[in-house]
Amino acid sequence: MRVRVATTALGLTAVTVLALPACSTDTTEAKPATASSARTGKPAEAGQNDAPLSSAALETRLLNMRDRGSGYTRKPEHPAQHDNVTVLGCPALNDLGADAATGGSLDFPRQAKATFSYAGGSNSEVTEELYSDTADKLSTATGQIFDAMTGCPEYQVLVGSTAVDTVTQEMTAPRLGDERWSQLLTFSAGGRDTVVKQTAVRDGSVLVVVSGSPALVDQHLAKAHAKATAAR
């Protein structure tokens, strides 16, 4: 299995940076993060690896409309955009590969993804992504991504001709799974601010990533983790 950290470096931000118009405006103040690691929990070790799941198996473990409750509509997946992307003010992200910001997904071949919009909010969205690989590969790649992002409290992303000012704040993730990471990102572009929360939980050979409106991420994370790992 080929894991290219360079192409995963900004996968977690792609949903937010490239979908700014679809996210709800939030004026919550995000304080800059420190340079400490966002990982909590115990890193994977060589005997902890469960057998990776197929993409088809992961698809059945995504939360569906029945799981989420009333008011949600699943959004169709769109082809990845390919705007020119440049990261300014964060060498760690540049080292991992700025082109990944247009990918929208981590570079693991076994994956499933779903995005839902919530009618009860102002264009509120939540995206769930599931990945599967050996525990050590999931741990290493995800840890490097979050460390790089939270290690740069402020940076700028140029998406085509659009400049997006970004502020990151490391958050405490709920005690789920074997390892967990969480951050709050504030994106400023075109005179408006968008606050997005991203939380990732690794449980054995499965990685659950929930991104979007902070309230919706908090509401659905535990359910997403429970369904993704129910058959372990």
User: What is the model's pTM?
Assistant: 0.81
Which of 33, 228, 30 has its CA nearest to residue 129?
228
For residue 112, the enclosing domain spans: 5-228
Lowest mean pLDDT: which of 26-35, 55-64, 79-88?
26-35
94 pLDDT higher than 60 = yes
**CB count, 10 Å around CB of 56?**
9
pLDDT digits (tens, 9 = 90+) for 111-140: 999 999 988 655 588 999 999 999 999 999
CA distance 135 to 141: 10
28 pLDDT higher than 90 = no
Which of 156, 146, 220, 209 has its CA nearest to residue 183?
146
* pLDDT for 232: 61
If you compute the radius of gyration of the chain from its CA atoms, what whole number of angstroms results?
16
pLDDT digits (tens, 9 = 90+) for 205-222: 999 999 999 999 999 999
102 pLDDT higher than 50 = no
Domain count, the chain: 1
Q: Provide the pLDDT confidence category of residue 48 given band limits of 50, 70 and 90.
A: low
Quote the percentage of the chain above a pLDDT of 90.
42
Specify the DSSP class assigned to residue 22.
G
**CB count, 10 Å around CB of 165?**
15
Q: Provide the pLDDT confidence category of residue 82 given band limits of 50, 70 and 90.
A: low
CA distance 145 to 200: 11
CATH number of the domain to which 108 belongs: 3.40.1000.70
